[in-house]
Structure 1
Amino acid sequence: MRERRFFSDGLQGRNLRFVGEHKDELLPQARVGFVLLEHFSLPAFTQALDTLVTANLIRSNAFATSTFSLNGGSIASDLGLVISPNAALQGEHLHELDLLVVCGGLRTTLRAMPELTHLLQAANDRGVVLAGLWNGAWFLGQAGLLDGYKCAVHPENRAALAEIAKNSQVTSDSYVVDRDRLTAASPTGAFHMVLSWIDNLHGRGLVDAIVDILAFEESRYRRVHPSLHEKMSEPVRDAITLMGANIEEPLSQDQLARYVGRSKRQMERLFQQQLGTTPVRFYLELRITESRRLLQHSDLPISEVSVACGFASSSHFSKCYAAFYGYSPSKEVRYGCVKSTK
């Protein structure tokens, strides 16, 4: 029997959703509730929600989400789109939540809401993690739940929050995660905030896999890079960029080394130190990963996928594919959502 191969740290995150790393691991589902206030920031809310939904694509049913309003009625967002929540937030819902997020917005009125204050305090007593988006931190502060915590709030509301939550540290950060308080001042901050929470629950591997899925929209998501890039030197980053741009006709190791201004031996040492693998192995893993994308999302025949990913023969491609994924390319799910031009 052929020994199963595993992806190195550099590409493990990209392949979590492919290889089923946690297939047999029973993980508790984290339950998240969003309280939508009038004129809440729709971009901030959807950034947070999209991150959780994407996580479920990678690790099935890792998160369950619900939306609430205070009276159960529909809520108009800052963009004028009306959202119908699942229910009115009641005390019994708090038993079912691990995280409760207060969603505010630029035009959300900052006023005491006794019902919301009571529910937030009850959630805190039950050990529910509390979060606020945009100016949602103000409502946490008004409920007395930010004392001793650092927090983030939209710049328009920093002074108001500092006045009502005198024992908290109001920062200028886009997001803050301080123990069981999560606050974000913007849609970007909401994205970071939820990623940080997921990191605490499930580790960096899942976070990197989420970012890998969302990073296709570079202009929107360039603010986040997987932790892999944080520990890579410029020659290694440049080499990986060259690899990604030359999938169909792979460059030789001598060519890669020459283009990044290092010797072949230096590149091998840098890859081993920073990624725990060799340039040859990383290049193979990258091509195998890209072949999986083509198989799933195009209608190209296996022989053409093999050529497009730089394999000399279909038989060699099939052997490499089966070694990493545990089954042959012919067994792959073919969504075929991108049609070839032939």
Structure 2
Amino acid sequence: MSSISVAIESNPSDKRSNEIAFTFVLDNPTDAPVYIAALSPVLPEGATLPETKDLATHALATQHQALCAELTEIANAQLMLASAETRKRAARVIGEIVREAYFNVSKLFGYVAATLFKVSNPFHDQVQHRLRALGYTIGSVADAEDVEIALGQYAEPELRVYADLFGVKLAQLRRLEGEMHTPESRRAIAVVEAQSSFSTTYVLRFRRSTVNQRKYSFNIEATVYGTDSEALQVKSASARAVISPAPYALSLTAIFAALLGSAVAFLTGLPGDVAITAVDPKQALTHFATEGLVGVILAMVAFNAYENIDAFKKMEVSASWRGALLVGFLCGAFTERIIDALKVLVGAQ
């Protein structure tokens, strides 16, 4: 057991995303199988794991729910065929729903639209909902046994197939509930065969900061054992994640920096003998309405795609307010040069 190793590999699909996939890997180099009793993700503050479920319990609960639904359907089908009174009550329920739809234009329109466009049919849903109240609802072995006794009064030979099928499903439900009541510590969610490995992926969603990057540490603890006589052991692994700030804040920073860069380009482009106070306001406004606007657009595009731009890769620009400030300022200050470079890149010059 000491030679068993665990690790977490991060698989970020996008550097800007606040959702990261982590792959937990357990390697079993021994000659005997290893049983995983539990996997426990330890989430840092500000991180969430959507739809966190215990794998073993969830799988058994899903099977249990499906078996109970099948038993309910079999019992109600047998009841509907055997009881004339139940059939009359079902017909009255359907008639009531039809009358409600006839006198309610919106409901009638909804039924017709659902039928024409092949979407969820509210008429069918209402019928099923009300008919369920006329029959049985099974949620456990005890419920199924009570229903079996109640259906015993209908002993017609043609209904025997329903009784036999109900008995088979009930036996399956008994075995499943027996398995669900086994001790949690010895219920394996996975078996790692000898000389093999086990892996599972968790997708975590992290809370963003407004302007600064956030660093998180994610841990997973695996409870394992070799045989029923061996004590449980806990193996743990960890991984780090760096989450970029809120996109809207970075975009606003890039826009502001582009305007600053455009202002610097305008002021440094003035003749040396012209004072700032002597600048024609119309000339300045025209500059910001043309060069400034182009710089803003370039900043938005460049900052949101700088991972694909070699120049910014060499500068090691980060997805933070500092990176947004730098990219925005450069796009605003050197708008013409960047436009010329783009024209050469696409072959326009």
Compare CA radii of gyration and give the structure with the larger one.
2
TM-score (norm 2): 0.22
TM-score (norm 1): 0.22
**Whose strand proportion is higher, 1 or 2?**
2
Q: Considering Cα pairs closer than 8 Å and 6+ residues apart, tell me whether 1 or 2 has the greater RCO.
A: 2
